[in-house]
Amino acid sequence: MKKVAFYVMTAIMLLFITTTPVSASHEMNKVALVGNEKIESVESQAMMSRLEEIKAMDKSNMDSKEKRELRKEVRSIKKSMTELGGGVYLSVGAIIIIILLLVLLL
């Protein structure tokens, strides 16, 4: 019985530790999300067109150095696109605490 209680408490603690992304954009005109979402800024449209060009390239006749450079470029473009999109990460535990505080205070 003690083991079951230990496992349940461990599962609950792991639930509180996990993080969930919450999107928060402070500038509405510069929203850029990777995927099928809307792209509004000119910079993000240029980045998306470059990603599509890289995706459409024939990489079979490239050497490993060129492929590595393309991978680095794709990573940097995706990183800059996520920075343009913004975001705040809150853990489940933090969300529960915030909800409890709001319930208690209001």
pLDDT digits (tens, 9 = 90+) for 49-106: 998 998 898 888 989 999 999 999 999 988 888 777 766 677 888 888 888 888 888 7
The pTM of the full predicted model, rounded to 2 decimals, is 0.44
Of 24, 19, 25, 22, the closest CA to residue 94 belongs to 19
pLDDT one-digit tens code per residue, 39-63 = 467 887 888 899 899 889 888 898 9
Of 84, 75, 88, the closest CA to residue 44 belongs to 84
Check if the beta carbon of residue 40 is closer than 8 Å to that of residue 34: no
DSSP-H helix ranges across 1-106: 2-17, 42-56, 64-85, 92-105
